[in-house]
Chain A
Amino acid sequence: MTTSSVSANGFNKFLHSIRIPPVYYFLLVIFIGGAALDFYFADGQILTNRAILTNIFVRSVALGIVAVGQTFVLIGASIDLSVAYTISMTAVMSSFIMQGDPTKVPTAIFVVFIIGAVIGLVNGLIITKLGVNSFIATLGTALILKGILNATFANFTGSVPRSYETFGYGRIGPIPISIFVLLGVVLLGWFILARTKFGSQLYGVGGNSEVARLSGLRTHRVLIGAHVICSLTAVLTGLFIVSRLRAGAPWIGPDGVYDLESVATTVIGGTALSGGKGGVWGTLGGVLIFGVIDTLFNQLGVNPFLKNVLRGVIIILAVASYTLRSKREAA
């Protein structure tokens, strides 16, 4: 074998190994189509204005972080509908503990991550040990969190110190810090899924839990781990949102529809609801699609009610493009 053929081989292998998720072609089409529409019907800012381009990402940060966590859960053939209230819980608890005092920031962050881990643990335990379907289990914990939150904090509570707002509004050079955080979470998510034993085991558990069990995996532990990770990403989303809103209120999670939208973007990104398949890069693509259409609708001045109609259509069509050729019956 000559060196040149080795390197060519290596390059092909590389191309093969990165496997660009198909959602990015969809994203590209939407982006180009959107830019063209924007160019003809509005002021063409999407392509020319860097601030609007970065804002597409900033819009995607909150949903993106939690969608990474949702990807873990969906790969494990589970689902987490409690993320919206986990986000609320985080936002409320962190601003309640901080009370505008910069010295309390570490305590607050520590406490909310612990709470997040406990929520994930409870979800995981109910699903694995009590054998409750994940849809109902996490819907149930969502309702419990909702009740506790609304009964305890009826309002904006406390506030975050100015310094903490850097997370939401700060920039490194021209690029908002939050974008780095999102990319960091995606990279970490990718690393865990693709490069660690845990990730590999999660694919196993989601793909076929019986095979995973027979291969000697502790399937319950793996699934619980995925749920804990998902709740932790929800916590991070909550911390990000509270830094932008200055204070936390119980409704910010459900108002953002983070539960269903994180599932929708993850599925659009190519992760199957049935598990064992997908990855965080696809999810990022799905989230960016939502960011692009949001920006596009604003640029074009689309009627807000029509936006929801179009969102619904896009969710269904995007997923249909994957499932159309599948032989299995859907339910």
Chain B
Amino acid sequence: MTTTTMAKSSRAVKVLNTIWTWIKKIPPVYPIFILIFLTVGFLNPNYQTANGIFVFLRRASPLAILAIGQMFVLSSGGFDLSMGSLVTFVIVGSSMLLNNDPEKAMITIVIMLGVGVIVGLINGVTVSFLKVPSLIVTLGMLLLVKGVAMFWSGGAPRGYFTDNFRIFGRGNIENVPIFGKFPIALLIMIVIALLSYYLFHKSNFGKQILAIGDNVRASQLSGVRVRVIRVLAFVYSALLAVVAAILLGGYGGISTNVGDGLEMQAVSAAVVGGTLLLGGKGSVPSVVFGAFTLEALFNLLNLLGLPKPYKDAVQGLIIIGAVAYVALSTRKKR
């Protein structure tokens, strides 16, 4: 009888093994997020209500959008450090363009998206055609874009944000079945995440981004128009920075230093979401949850009553840990 039991147990082991391999395939960011978020919910009952969760998600939405944009560029093998400055530019510039006139909201948004395209084009073209490393290009743009914003406004933006401009970041859709209030910012984030999912995982664009991030030479020899793809990745990243800026402006109002350090937070969120630095791997849903994880972690630190500055220290540990985890586990596989 021992043989049959052994056979049985080995079959069970096999099943367990397949389950285990499935579990191993789940990016670690999801269980980590769930763990942190449950802890947060345990510490503060607010986060057990739909409203509390929405408040959290709305707060995380701009970072999630920025992280998606950053992930497009990271996956292509580059960096986009100009994001934060672009956010500042959009906030300062919008207040200048709006000039307290609600009718200008639409045109302002269109113009700002246009600015995003231009900044992305400059980034991409300089990297692709002048062959300057993106770290340097976008660092230069970081100084340049913020400088232009400040130069334009003279340091103090002029107008208020009109309510119809702020609605994207601040407003709710009322009377949504099941949920009740549904934040517009979250809706925008979901739409962008879906669009990005298709672009990145389903379209030729995303596959070619991964291809050039993985092996530029091979991609070029397979006919990938490397420069076009790279430029487009930078443009998309800049466009998402503009969208995030509109949400942030709606959420927080006018401020000349909203964007400071956002680029590094976006890189961190992308990395926590499993994006491979220097290219070749990335995933939209993981990165979105990377941003959520980071926000949830900040909330957790707050609820634990740790001094705010430790937020930075923990963020530092998290990104080193996330990258080290990937590096060590691939080293093991080899």
Contact = CB atoms under 8 A, between A and B. Distances in A.
Tell me if chains A and B make direct contact, with any CB pair below 8 A. Answer: yes
Contacts of B77: 331
Categorize the interface residue count of chain B.
35 or more
Contacts of A139: 264, 267-268, 316, 319
Nearest to B320: A140
Given A131-B331, A309-B151, A313-B144, A329 B131 contact: yes
Contacts of A311: 140, 143-144, 147
Contacts, number: 176
Contacts of B133: 267, 273-274, 319, 323, 330-331
A44 to B, nearest CB: 27
Contacts of B268: 139
Nearest to A151: B309
A132 B316 contact: no
Interface residues of A, number: 49
A315 B143 contact: yes
The 10 closest A-B pairs by CB, nearest first: A147-B313, A143-B316, A312-B144, A308-B147, A131-B327, A150-B309, A331-B77, A309-B147, A312-B143, A140-B320
A261 B212 CA distance: 29
27 contacts: A131-B324, A131-B328, A135-B135, A136-B319, A139-B316, A139-B319, A144-B313, A147-B312, A148-B313, A260-B139, A305-B148, A306-B147, A309-B143, A309-B147, A309-B151, A311-B143, A311-B147, A312-B140, A313-B140, A315-B136, A315-B143, A316-B136, A316-B137, A320-B132, A323-B130, A330-B131, A330-B132
B252 interface: no
A126 interface: yes
A305 B155 contact: yes
Contacts of A130: 320, 324, 327-328
Nearest to B130: A320
B220 A329 contact: yes
A179 interface: no
A330 B140 contact: no
Contacts of B196: none
A202 to B, nearest CB: 20
A329 B316 contact: no
Contacts of B131: 320, 323-324, 326, 328-330
Contact of B313 (A131, A146, A323): A146
Contacts of A305: 147-148, 150-151, 154-155
Contacts of B316: 139-147
